[in-house]
Amino acid sequence: MHHHYKIFKPYGYLSQFINNGKKQNSKKLLGELGAFPEGTMSIGRLDEHSEGLLLLTTDGKMCYFVNSSKVDKEYYAQVDGDITEDAITCLKNGVEIGINGKKYNTKPCPAFKLTETPNLPERGKKLRDDRHGPTSWVSITLNEGKFRQVRKMTAAVGFPTLRLVRVRVGHITLEGMQPGEAIELKDVKTAINLNP
């Protein structure tokens, strides 16, 4: 029987369970956040400096499906500056970013400026304060997952990402969770709104 979890990955953790030997002895790994069964893997990744919702599973087929373009992933990005409507329109329509040294145009996607600061726990490492200028929050929903895509997209429209939090995968959300918390999901297909 397979096991599935949702976890609030804190800032500063790698999205992996074992050290692959690449000088990461001091890095924090997901396995430190709970007693997960052998064979547990993260579905997709969040980089070390990103936070938020990660799904964990012992089922390779589930991993493959959730990583596919059939499942939306929503991110909240706190950006440097007061993001403009023109920049939001560019994000919606797709922007050119670099992937492995090549130019790539992102697919059109839902994006909008948040009217209020999202209710998220404080980040482990303090962000710069308001004396360094205004910041704003934007929601971006993707069904593709290029390396550091959200950060590259906001930088491409002139508003670099300062903090990045994944808040939703399918219909599974981060709501009510604290950094480092893991919750077992009994029926991940229903939770993600898939057909069993």
CA-closest candidate to residue 114, choices 139, 93, 133, 94: 139
- The encoded tokens of residue 150 equal 């959200």
CA-closest candidate to residue 29, choices 85, 38, 41, 39: 41
Q: Is 89:158 a contact under the CB 8 Å cutoff?
A: no
Dist. CA 196–CA 187, nearest whole Å: 9
The catalytic position among 47, 59, 72, 130 is: 47
CA distances in angstroms from 76 to 89, 138, 151, 189, listed in the order given: 16, 6, 11, 24
Q: Is 11:179 a contact under the CB 8 Å cutoff?
A: yes
Q: Is the dihedral of CA 74, 80, 86, 87 positive or negative?
A: negative
Q: Is 155:178 a contact under the CB 8 Å cutoff?
A: no
Dist. CA 18–CA 41, nearest whole Å: 10
Asked if 82 is an active-site residue, the reply is no
Catalytic residue IDs: 47
